[in-house]
Amino acid sequence: ANNSEGNLRSPICCIMGHVDTGKTKLLDCIRHTNVQEGEAGGITQQIGATYFPAENIRERTRELKADAKLNVPGLLVIDTPGHESFTNLRSRGSGLCDIAILVVDIMHGLEPQTIESLNLLRMRNTEFIVALNKVDRLYGWKTLRNAPIVKALKQQSKDVQNEFNMRVTSVITQFKEQGLNTELYYKNKDMGETFNIVPTSAISGEGVPDLLLLLVQWSQKTMIEKLTFKNELECTVLEVKVVEGHGTTIDVVLVNGVLHEGDQIVVCGMQGPIVTTIRALLTPHPMKELRVKGTYLHHKQIKAAQGIKISAQGLEHAIAGTGLYVVGPDDDLEEIKRSAMED
Ligand code: GTP
Ligand code: MG
Ligand code: NA
């Protein structure tokens, strides 16, 4: 690996789309967790974050391509709600990410929040991959657990293949009506101009290896500059919440830079800037969801990119969606307080 490859941070990937298309379930499938079943009404109402180390991605993509080059340390995936009332959270998630997965239900095609998400991504010129999810619902689908999608499709009857082709064609047409060229990724000869579609099942895992590998490879290929680790801190508050034993905490996404226990930080508050000191830097275990109560790992310092829970005094009135600043030895505190309140 050359120098730049040696200092890449994990790409941040936001998962977006219409309600109930299977965003959380897809992450559950990769994590081997059951977060979705624990959600009230089966609806996501918060932004989440999960870190997938490269070795887990390697494991999951071995059958598809055993010698794939994974130059990034891992992948940080941000889960967002699809319900129409959470446009602000979709906007927050899409504003943070390097790349996105736009999930479409193969049985429903494009829906209102698919189009809303699409427009958020286009507004910021964000790269994305379409996951055409729930292929297992095609009538007569034969399960081939966690198989690469081309292999899974070859096992299907002519009828299933025909229905699959018909539905894919219809989705491609619907994207075309939105002014967007899309194609099944394994047929796409014009990557870059034509967005990739990866058929998946979050229940039986077909296509999930393809989605993971394409995410990592496409990020590595098209955004080396953006993914090169930078020391300058870039950090956003996702959620503010009370956690038993820790008081009010903030969940943040560290996009660049390093945070240390004991750092003096400034965040935007409802009654003015909050200046405080990091008491604890916590993360869930790898492959666990930050927004779900569980055991946390304590860190002395954490390097981007990562989803982190910060415990500190005085965070009760912190405002989600704003930036977090660290006060360095040579920094002017008043200036940082002003910057924090401009967010
Ligand atoms: P919101 O976050 O509320 O927008 O929903 P979501 O997109 O995260 O969808 P979720 O993971 O909550 O899944 C919605 C429903 O679809 C659940 O009942 C899932 O079990 C089901 N589901 C998700 N993915 C699949 C799939 O690939 N196949 C099948 N058959 N069902 C799925
Ligand atoms: Mg969800
Ligand atoms: Na849901």
CA distance 256 to 231: 6
278 to 115, 158, 249, 327: CA distances (angstroms): 39, 59, 10, 11
Nearest-atom number in ligand 1 for the CA of 137 is 30
Of residues 330 and 1, which shows the higher confidence score?
330
Tell me the per-residue pLDDT of 178-193, one tens digit each, with 9 for 90 and over. Answer: 999 999 999 999 998 9
Peptide bond into 202 cis (omega under 30): no
| Residue listed under structure tokens 């690469």 | 148
User: In percent, how much of the chain has pLDDT > 90?
Assistant: 97
- Helix, strand, coil percentages (3-state) for the chain, rounded to 5, are 35, 30, 40
Residue 3: pLDDT band by 50, 70, 90 thresholds? very low
Residue type, position 318, single letter: A
Residue 72: pLDDT band by 50, 70, 90 thresholds? very high
Residue 2: pLDDT band by 50, 70, 90 thresholds? very low
Q: Mean pLDDT throughout 7-28?
A: 98
Residue 158 pLDDT exceeds 90: yes
Q: Count of CB atoms within 10 A of residue 157's CB?
A: 13
Ligand 1 mutation pick, 20, 145, 291, max ligand atoms within 8 A of CB: 20
Ligand 1 mutation pick, 25, 35, 77, 105, max ligand atoms within 8 A of CB: 25
Q: Mean pLDDT throughout 110-122?
A: 98
Residue of minimum CA distance from atom 21 in ligand 1: 22
Tell me the per-residue pLDDT of 264-299, one tens digit each, with 9 for 90 and over. Answer: 999 999 999 999 999 999 999 999 999 999 999 999
Residue 1 pLDDT exceeds 60: no
Q: Which residues pair with 197 in a beta bridge?
A: 130, 184
Residue 171: pLDDT band by 50, 70, 90 thresholds? very high
Instruction: Assess: ipTM above 0.95.
Output: yes
Q: Give the H/E segment covering residue 284.
A: strand 280-284
Tell me the per-residue pLDDT of 204-261, one tens digit each, with 9 for 90 and over. Answer: 999 999 999 999 999 999 999 999 999 999 999 999 999 988 999 999 999 999 999 9
Residue 135: pLDDT band by 50, 70, 90 thresholds? very high
CA distance 128 to 122: 9
**Residue 16: DSSP 8-state:** E
pLDDT of residue 54: 97
Residues 6+ apart with CB under 8 A from 224: 4, 5, 8
Tokens representing 69 are 């080059």
Tell me the per-residue pLDDT of 19-59, one tens digit each, with 9 for 90 and over. Answer: 999 999 999 999 999 999 999 999 999 999 999 999 999 99
pLDDT of residue 343: 84
Q: Mean pLDDT throughout 87-99?
A: 96
pLDDT of residue 5: 55
Q: Which residues pair with 282 in a beta bridge?
A: 298, 309
Residue 66: pLDDT band by 50, 70, 90 thresholds? very high
pLDDT of residue 224: 95
pLDDT of residue 192: 87
Residue 204 backbone phi and psi in degrees, to 5: -110, 0
What protein residues have CB closer than 5 angstroms to ion ligand 3? 20, 42-43
Pocket of ligand 1 (CB under 6 A): 17, 19-25, 36, 42-44, 81-83, 133-134, 136-137, 201-203
Residue type, position 55, single letter: E
Q: Any idea which of 1-5, 131-135, 288-292 has the lowest mean pLDDT?
A: 1-5
